[in-house]
C-alpha cells in the first residue's frame, strides 16, 4: 500500500508543511477506506520551485532521452497495473473488470500513444532564413478528475514529459490513491529530481494555487465547467496558457436508416458504462419520431440488463457513483425529469431494490424528452439517458447543437456519406460515426463550454510547447 501521508516533491516522498488530512470514501460501502494528507499553498510553492529548478536542464534533453524515460514509465506502469486497477475500484467504484479493461488500460494506451507520437514529432521546420522551433513551455500545472483518473493523469503527464516540461500534478482528492501508485511508478524510472511532483489536496487549497502560481507556465485542467471557469479566471492574472477539458451533454443522432436495435442498445450501454460518469457519454439520444416507441422498448430492455452491485463481484457491470454529493445531484435531476413530464421508461429515483448501502443509482431511461427540460440540458453525470424524438435530419442537427457544450457527438447510419455530412454540421470536438473503436491518436477536446485545447498523442504534446522563430538562422 502506498504511503498516503506524503507528497512527491523533488524526487522524494516528503511530509506536508502542515498536517491536514481527509478520508477517502469507498462509494460501495459509504465508509472511509484510507486517509490522505492534503496540501496547502506552502506545499505547492515547494513543488513548483522544484519543477522550476529542474526545467532548464530537462527542457534541453534529447528526444531519445525522453523516449527512454517514457518507455521505462510504460514498463513501470505495467508492473503496477493490477494495483492501479484495484485502487480505482475502491476509490471511485468502478467494477474491477472495468477498472482493469478500461480504466487502467486507458493509462497504458495513452502512454503507448505518447511514445509513438514522440518518435516522429516535428520539433522544428525551416522557412526561408527562419527556423521555427517548438520548445517546452515551462512548468506545467496538471489538475485531474476522479472519473477516469489514469486516463487523465497519463494524457497530461506523458505529453508534458515528451515535450520536455517539468510539472506539478494534483489528482482529485476524491480518487487519489491510483495517482499515488502512478507516482511510485514514476519514481521507479529515475527521472531527474523535480521533473515530476505530486501534491494532493482540494481545489481551493491546491488546485487554484497551482493555477495562479506565477512560476507555473501552463495549466492543463480536466473537470467540471464550473471549476474550469474558476481555474481560467485564477490563471488570467499571470497570463499563462490554460487548456481545459470540461463538461458535456453529447448528442447521439440515430438517423432513419440505422439499425435501430443495434444503435439504441449500443447507445444505452455507452451511457451506462462507468456508471454514467464520462464527460463524453452520449446522454441525449435523438431518434426519428415515428420510431420513438420502438426505441424506448429497446432502451428499456438494454438498461434492465445492467447488473448493478459490488464492484468486486464478477457479474457486476455497473458500480456505484463516486460520492454522496454526486448521488444526490443525480437523484434530484431524475426527479426533475419526472416532474417536468418526461416519460420514465425504466429506473427512477432511489437505489436498486437489492441494495440498501452504497451510492448506487438505478439505470434510468427517459423518453419523450423535450429540449427545454433540465435532463436534456444539464450534465447529469450518472447512468441517465434522455431520448428525444425528431421529425427531420435538419431538426436533429439543430437539437444536437442546441447546448452550451460541445465535447462529443455521435451519428448512426448505414449511409457513410450522410454520416460525414451530418458530422460536418455538428459543433463538437469529436464526432463518432457508427460506434468506432476508441482511437488514442484522434484529438480530444471540446467546443464552446466543453473547453479548449486538445489531448492525445501529438495533439497533447503540442499543448506543452511554445513556438519560437529564429530569424536569420543559417541552415547548413
The catalytic site residues sit at 245, 279
Estimate the crossing angle of helix 149-163 against helix 81-92, to 10 degrees. Answer: 130
3-state SS, residue 211: helix
d(CA 430, CA 407): 6
- The three three-digit cell numbers of residue 308, written as one number: 448493478
- Return d(Cα 257, Cα 416) in angstroms, integer: 11
Cα separation, 157 vs 69, whole angstroms: 12
Helix (H, G, I), strand (E, B) or coil at 124: strand
Rounded CA Rg of the chain: 23
Position of cell 510504460?
74
CA count, 13 A, side-chain hemisphere, 425: 19
Residue 337 CA to chain centroid, in angstroms?
A: 26
State the Cα–Cα distance between residues 415 and 476, nearest whole angstrom: 52
Tell me the CA distances in angstroms from 230 to 137, 157, 226, 327, 401, one per residue in order.
22, 22, 7, 24, 25
The cell numbers describing 301, all together, are 430492455
- 275: alpha, beta or left? (left if phi > 0; alpha if psi -120 to 50): left
Find out whether 228 and 156 touch, Cβ atoms under 8 Å.
no
Residue pair 194/166 in contact by the 8 Å Cβ criterion: yes
Residue 77 has phi, psi (to 5 degrees) of -60, -45
Instruction: Tell me the C-alpha to C-alpha distance, in Å, between residue 77 and each of 80, 154, 438.
Output: 5, 10, 21
179-208 burial, b for 16+ CB within 10 Å, e for fewer? bbbbbbbbbebebbebbbbbbbbbbebbbb
Q: Are 397 and 422 in contact (CB under 8 A)?
A: yes
* DSSP type of residue 207: I
* Exposure class string for 282-307: b at 16+ Cβ within 10 A, else e: bbbbbbbeebbeebbebbbebbeebe
Measured CA distances, 361 to 92, 145, 330, 347 (Å): 14, 20, 8, 8
Q: How many helices (H) and strands (E) does the chain have?
A: 16, 20
Amino acid at each position: 500500500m502506498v504511503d498516503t501521508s506524503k507528497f512527491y516533491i523533488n524526487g522524494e516522498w516528503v511530509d506536508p508543511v502542515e498536517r491536514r488530512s481527509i478520508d477517502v470514501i469507498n462509494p460501495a460501502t459509504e465508509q472511509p477506506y484510507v486517509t490522505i494528507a492534503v496540501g496547502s499553498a506552502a506545499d505547492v510553492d515547494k513543488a513548483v520551485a522544484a519543477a522550476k529548478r529542474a526545467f532548464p536542464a530537462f527542457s534541453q534533453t534529447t528526444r531519445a532521452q525522453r523516449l527512454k524515460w517514457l518507455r521505462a514509465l510504460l514498463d513501470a506502469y505495467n508492473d503496477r497495473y493490477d494495483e492501479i486497477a484495484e485502487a480505482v475500484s475502491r476509490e471511485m467504484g468502478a467494477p474491477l473488470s472495468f477498472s482493469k479493461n478500461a480504466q487502467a488500460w486507458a493509462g497504458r494506451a495513452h502512454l503507448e500513444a505518447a511514445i509513438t507520437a514522440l518518435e516522429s514529432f516535428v520539433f522544428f521546420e525551416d522557412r526561408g532564413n527562419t527556423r521555427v522551433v517548438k520548445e517546452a513551455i515551462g512548468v506545467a500545472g496538471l489538475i485531474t478528475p476522479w472519473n477516469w483518473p489514469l486516463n487523465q493523469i497519463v494524457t497530461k503527464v506523458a505529453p508534458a514529459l515528451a515535450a520536455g516540461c517539468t510539472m506539478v500534478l494534483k489528482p482529485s482528492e476524491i480518487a487519489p490513491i491510483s495517482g499515488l501508485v502512478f507516482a511510485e511508478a514514476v519514481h521507479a524510472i529515475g527521472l531527474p529530481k523535480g521533473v515530476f511532483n505530486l501534491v494532493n489536496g482540494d481545489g481551493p487549497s491546491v488546485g487554484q494555487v497551482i493555477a495562479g502560481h506565477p512560476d507555473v507556465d501552463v495549466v492543463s485542467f480536466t473537470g467540471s465547467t464550473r471549476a474550469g471557469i474558476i481555474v481560467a479566471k485564477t490563471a488570467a492574472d499571470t497570463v499563462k496558457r490554460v487548456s481545459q477539458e470540461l463538461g458535456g451533454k453529447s448528442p447521439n443522432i440515430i438517423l432513419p436508416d440505422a439499425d435501430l436495435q443495434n444503435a439504441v442498445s449500443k447507445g444505452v450501454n455507452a451511457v451506462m458504462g462507468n456508471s454514467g460518469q464520462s464527460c463524453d457519454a452520449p446522454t441525449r439520444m435523438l431518434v426519428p419520431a415515428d420510431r420513438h416507441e420502438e426505441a424506448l422498448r429497446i432502451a428499456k430492455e438494454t438498461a434492465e440488463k445492467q447488473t448493478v452491485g459490488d464492484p468486486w463481484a464478477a457479474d457486476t457491470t455497473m458500480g456505484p457513483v463516486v460520492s454522496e454529493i454526486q448521488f444526490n445531484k443525480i437523484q434530484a435531476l431524475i426527479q426533475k425529469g419526472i416532474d417536468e413530464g418526461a416519460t420514465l421508461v425504466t429506473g427512477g429515483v432511489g437505489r436498486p431494490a437489492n441494495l440498501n448501502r452504497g451510492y448506487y443509482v438505478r439505470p434510468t431511461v427517459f423518453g419523450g424528452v423535450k429540449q427545454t427540460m433540465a435532463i436534456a440540458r444539464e450534465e447529469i453525470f450518472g447512468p441517465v439517458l434522455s431520448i428525444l424524438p425528431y421529425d427531420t435530419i435538419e431538426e436533429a442537427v439543430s437539437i444536437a447543437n442546441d447546448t452550451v457544450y460541445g465535447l462529443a457527438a455521435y451519428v448512426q447510419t448505414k449511409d457513410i456519406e450522410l454520416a460525414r455530412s451530418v458530422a460536418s454540421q455538428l459543433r463538437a470536438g469529436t464526432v463518432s460515426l457508427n460506434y468506432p473503436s476508441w482511437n488514442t491518436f484522434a484529438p480530444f477536446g471540446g467546443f464552446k463550454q466543453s473547453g479548449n485545447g486538445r489531448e492525445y498523442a501529438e495533439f497533447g504534446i503540442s499543448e506543452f510547447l511554445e513556438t519560437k522563430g529564429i530569424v536569420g538562422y543559417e541552415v547548413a
